[in-house]
Amino acid sequence: MAQTIAVLGAGPGLGRSVARRFGREGFEVALVARTPARLDGLAAELAADGITVAGFPADLGDRAALPGLIEAITARFGPIDVLQYAPSGPEWIEDQAGVLEAGPESFEFPLDLLLRTPAELVRRLVPGMIERGRGAVLFGLSVGASVPYPQAANQCTAAMAARGYLRILSAALEGTGVYAGLLQVGGMVTGSDGARYYLEKYRPAQVPPGLDPDDLAGACWDLYLKRDRFEVIMT
């Protein structure tokens, strides 16, 4: 029986490449993003590669909708075996607050998306993985999870909290057959919404070379397959 990966925050960068890599390894793929039209396009592209895939529109900031999302995915594919969570987009660039300007409210958006929503997903999905004796939770975060960037203090703080949460989860899962791991991304992802936003806002010469999303997806697969380390940083 095929296993299922749920790619939350699916987009034209890392999400698409992770879905393709795992799909080519025999996984069925559930894509989750806010825009139905985008999901339809990504799903059609992956299906053309012979991957079994379906899209599920959802706002990851709406935690009340998560039970319905999980129910819809499991009704289509069965239990979720791998949760891949890496929300991103231009709103992350616009949301950045410097350390001396960041008020309490500036932490709500990144904490919701990077800590509260994944914690709720883990609470609902991981017990089933443990019961089955297999599964994985894979996070994708910016390198701000380890490196302090004062100009994005609100997001770095939330990313560091998310990294700490996942590290604790990793320790708790030892010996269960379930793995938790982290990919830290130290740059713009080629083809992603964020990269396109930068190219539109700034001259191309001012935008650093992007990271190949297929390389990042390969790192995610390597983490999942080998399970010999908690995290990898790609720059």
Dump pLDDT digits (tens) for 203-219.
665 556 789 999 999 99
Exposed / middle / buried, residue 204 (Cβ in 10 Å: 0-12, 13-18, 19+)? exposed
Q: Give the range of the structural domain holding residue 39, as residue numbers without chain letter.
A: 4-234
When pLDDT is cut at 50, 70 and 90, the band that residue 202 belongs to is low
- Parallel, antiparallel or unpaired: strands 135-142 and 28-33: unpaired
Half-sphere exposure of 50 (CA within 13 A, CB side): 4
pLDDT at 34: 93
Q: Is the pLDDT of residue 195 over 70?
A: yes
Q: What is the DSSP letter of 209?
A: P
Q: How far is CA 16 from CA 51, 83, 228, in A?
A: 12, 14, 25
Q: Is the pLDDT of residue 155 over 60?
A: yes
pLDDT at 193: 85
What is the mean pLDDT of the segment spanning 176-191? Answer: 95
How many whole angstroms from its chain centre is CA 233?
A: 15
CB 3 within 8 A of CB 81: yes
What is the mean pLDDT of the segment spanning 182-186? Answer: 97
Q: Which helix (H) or strand (E) holds 199?
A: helix 193-201
> Average pLDDT, whole number, for the chain?
94
Token code pair at residue 77: 């594919």
CATH classification at residue 223: 3.40.50.720
pLDDT at 140: 97
Nearest to 161 by CA among 113, 227, 216, 106: 113
pLDDT at 203: 62
How many whole angstroms from its chain centre is CA 56?
A: 15
When pLDDT is cut at 50, 70 and 90, the band that residue 199 belongs to is confident
Tell me how far apart the alpha carbons of residues 79 and 66 are, in angstroms, rounded to a whole number.
Answer: 15
pLDDT tens sequence across 53-111: 999 999 999 999 999 999 999 999 999 999 999 998 888 878 999 999 999 999 999 99
pLDDT tens sequence across 104-132: 999 999 999 999 999 999 999 999 999 99
How many domains is the chain partitioned into structurally? 1
CB 57 within 8 A of CB 35: yes
